[in-house]
Amino acid sequence: MLSRLVLRAAPAALRALPPPVAVGVLHTTRPLHTTRQSLAPVPPLPEKGGEVRHGLIPEEFFQFLYPKTGVTGPYMLGTGLLLYLLSKEIYVVNHETAAAACILTVIVYAIKKFGPEVAAFADKLNEEKVATAVAMKDEAIQTLQTAIEEEKKEQWRAEGRSYLFDAKRNNVAMLLETNYRERLLMVYSEVKKRLDYQVAMQTLKRQKEQDHMIQWVEKNVVQSITPQQQKESIAKCIVDLKALSKGAHAAV
Amino acid sequence: GPLWERPLMEVRLGELHTWISTCNFSPQGLLAAVQRAWSSYCAKYIHVKQGGPAGISMLLAGYCLLSYGWNYQHLKRHRWRKYH
């Protein structure tokens, strides 16, 4: 029904369009890219078609005759028409009539018997098609939903960046501190080394001077001991020893 | 709406000749009218979710009637009575 309305409105819309416009060398019957008609989403198909009675005569005919002739009007019209055609032999009964009667009987019987099953099968096919399309749509929506949640989570995570930066700042400060202290230590050790060197130099020099002086004094003293003094000292030693031995003998 | 925009089914009997005078009888107009009629028939009886035998059966019945009409001169010779 909706598509019928659309199609009824189409001629009116077509007549309301502006006359052909020459855009450059291209003759167009409508302004390009400014139409208000949108082709998507396509309106869905109507559920049921127009009502038809006995498979042949649309319901509108019966409704058309109802106010004047009631319910039996169209049937009386049909019967009268049929009798007129037969009696005046405008419709001639021949072999084709018998054939048509048999064929119609078979067709009507087949439709009445197998109609619902075929309809159910076709409906099932349609259902499957629609189900795949809907499944795709749902899957796409689900993917986008998860993407949205992931994004929100990432945004929440990004809020914690202040903590991250604090930690990094602390790390950097600690590194600087460590480096500074290492360098202090190095300075201290270097200075101490230099000072130790100086101290060692001084002690070495003093020691060398002392040793040298002692040697020199000893050498001079030894040189100064003349032979005369040596004899006198030896004699004195012998006298002292004798005295000592006397004393020891006396003690014993 | 105005007379020339209404479809045939909604035109009253008295306004019929006026309506016919507003029709476009050029080839393009006739072709457009045939196209419109076919489209509305299809949209009403064939392009539906649950159509029945009605869509095609009406077409076949119309075809039967038309072919009977075209062959009437030949079928007239198979009459049973001489005088009607």
Which of the two residues, B5 and A102, has the higher pLDDT score? Answer: A102
pLDDT given for residue A22 in this prediction = 47
pLDDT given for residue A240 in this prediction = 93
Pick the closest to residue B64 from A151, A56, A119 (CA basis).
A56
The Cα–Cα gap between A185 and A229 comes to: 64
pLDDT given for residue A156 in this prediction = 93
pLDDT given for residue A142 in this prediction = 97
CA distances from B38 to A9, A58, A109, B46, B81 (A): 15, 16, 29, 11, 40
Q: Could you tell me the two tokens for A113? A: 């018997």
Q: What is the DSSP string of A138-190?
A: HHHHHHHHHHHHHHHHHHHHHHTHHHHHHHHHHHHHHHHHHHHHHHHHHHHHH
Give the mean model confidence (pLDDT) for residues B59-74: 94
Question: Whole-prediction pTM value?
Answer: 0.56
Q: CA end-to-end span of chain B, whole Å? A: 49
* A56 contacts B52? CB cut-off 8 A: no
Domain boundaries, chain B: 3-77
| Phi-psi domain of A136 (left: phi exceeds 0; alpha: psi -120 through 50; beta: other) | alpha
- Chain A CB within 8 Å of residue B17 CB: no
* A50 contacts B53? CB cut-off 8 A: no
pLDDT given for residue B81 in this prediction = 86
Q: Which of B12, B78, B81 to mutate to test the interface with A (most CBs of A within 10 A)?
A: B78
| Phi-psi domain of A83 (left: phi exceeds 0; alpha: psi -120 through 50; beta: other) | alpha
pLDDT by position in tens, chain A (length 252): 555 554 555 555 555 554 554 445 555 565 566 666 677 777 888 888 888 888 888 888 898 889 989 999 999 999 999 999 999 989 999 899 999 999 999 999 999 999 999 999 999 999 999 999 999 999 999 999 999 999 999 999 988 888 999 999 999 999 999 999 999 999 999 999 999 999 999 999 999 999 999 999 999 988 887 777 888 989 999 999 999 999 988 887
Provide, as residue numbers in chain B, all residues whose Cβ is less than 8 Å from the Cβ of A58: 58
Binning pLDDT at 50, 70 and 90, where does residue B51 land? confident
Pick the closest to residue B76 from A88, A102, A101 (CA basis).
A88
- Percentage of chain B beyond pLDDT 90 is 37
- Chain B CB within 8 Å of residue A43 CB: no
Name, in order, each residue with C-beta under 8 angstroms of A134's C-beta and a sequence gap of 6 or more: none
pLDDT given for residue A28 in this prediction = 57
